Structures are given as structure tokens and as C-alpha cells.
Amino acid sequence: MKELEDMYRVPLQLADLDGLSQKQVAKHMGLTLSETKSRIQRARKQLRQRFTACCDVEVGRGGVLGYETKKPDCDKC
């Protein structure tokens, strides 16, 4: 996550890791709810792209079930 720009990392962290609602994140950051939702979705997409670039990720209803690196020098998984 630390590789994400702050404008994407902070709202994602507040919502997905710290447990704030997206509405609370918007108020906390002085953004509209629409802007907040967009930033969180973009951050999730960027993370997904980074992980899947070098890792095979198995995802189920409960989230990530497992993963395997595609490249031996990959340190993103």
C-alpha cells in the first residue's frame, strides 16, 4: 500500500483497514462521497494490478484464499 499515492492510499486505509465508512472518510478528508468512492475503487484496482502482475492470486467469497509468485524475484505478494 505504501507505493500508492497518498490521495489513494489514505482513503483506502481509513475505509478498509481502520474501519471507517466511506461517508466518514469523505467527511474526515473534506471530499465529496463520490470523490471518496472513486479514490477507494482506484486504489483497490491499482493494488490488484500490482499483485496480479507477479502473483497468481486465488480469491473466494471471503477474500484471498491463497497466492503463488509467478517470478522468484517478486516482493509484492
Name the residue ranges covered by the structural domains of the chain.
6-69
Q: Write down the pTM of the prediction.
A: 0.79
Q: Count Cβ atoms within 10 A of the Cβ of residue 39 and give its class: 0-12 exposed, 13-18 middle, 19 or more buried.
A: buried
Sequential pLDDT tens for the chain (77 residues):
888 999 999 999 999 999 999 999 999 999 999 999 999 999 999 998 888 888 888 888 888 888 888 877 776 66
How confident is the model at residue 39, as a pLDDT? Answer: 98
How confident is the model at residue 43, as a pLDDT? Answer: 97
How confident is the model at residue 76, as a pLDDT? Answer: 60
φ, ψ (nearest 5 deg) of residue 15: -80, -50
Neighbour count for residue 9 (Cβ, 10 Å): 17
How confident is the model at residue 46, as a pLDDT? Answer: 95
Top-tier CATH class for 6-69: mainly alpha
